[in-house]
Amino acid sequence: MHILLSLILVSFNALALDWTELEEGSTYRINQNFQLTQLERSSSKLDISSGETVYLNEMMGLPQIRVMLYSFTYQNCPGPKMETDMDIIPVQGTSPVVEIGAQLEENCVLKIYIENRDLMSKSLFE
């Protein structure tokens, strides 16, 4: 059973694109579930599910803090006024584990922050 589960995880992760393979103007599917803490109700979470789609609007380097910022339009947004705190999300299938910062801003903008040193690793998208 353990071997079968390992094979499923490896094949699932094989579909994930590296961060450097993402292109502005393209639509991607999220490949893991994660939650973001809502600003209005700090105990409430916004569930973002595997299979949901995002559109990559812009990629921008932030050299002062050695981070790349990816700005997506979140297609399954619950409303244009929804905002979340930034949460740290571990990217499944990375070793050592890569962590990103993620937050949803007004107008359904999903912002993902990743350290430059992790850009060659697997992303959350396929």
The model's pLDDT over 110-120, given as tens digits with 9 standing for 90+, comes to 999 999 999 99
Looking at residue 66, its pLDDT comes to 97
* Amino acid at residue number 95: S
Helices (H) and strands (E) in the chain, counts: 1, 8
The model's pLDDT over 9-22, given as tens digits with 9 standing for 90+, comes to 444 445 789 999 99
Looking at residue 10, its pLDDT comes to 42
* DSSP β-ladder status, 109-115 and 67-74: antiparallel
> Is residue 64 pLDDT above 80, yes or no?
yes
| Alpha-carbon span 56 to 111, nearest angstrom | 10
Looking at residue 14, its pLDDT comes to 54
CA 88 to centroid of chain Cα atoms: 10
Looking at residue 16, its pLDDT comes to 87
| Alpha-carbon span 13 to 27, nearest angstrom | 18
Measured in residues, the chain has a length of 126
The model's pLDDT over 67-109, given as tens digits with 9 standing for 90+, comes to 999 999 999 999 999 999 999 999 999 999 999 999 999 999 9
- What are the structure tokens assigned to 48, written together? 């973002």
What band does 41 get if pLDDT is binned at 50, 70 and 90?
confident
Decide: helix, strand or coil at residue 93: coil
Identify the CA nearest to 66 among candidates 30, 101, 37, 38: 101
What is the average per-residue pLDDT within 47-62? 97
Decide: helix, strand or coil at residue 51: coil
The residues spanned by each domain of the chain are 2-118
pTM: 0.86
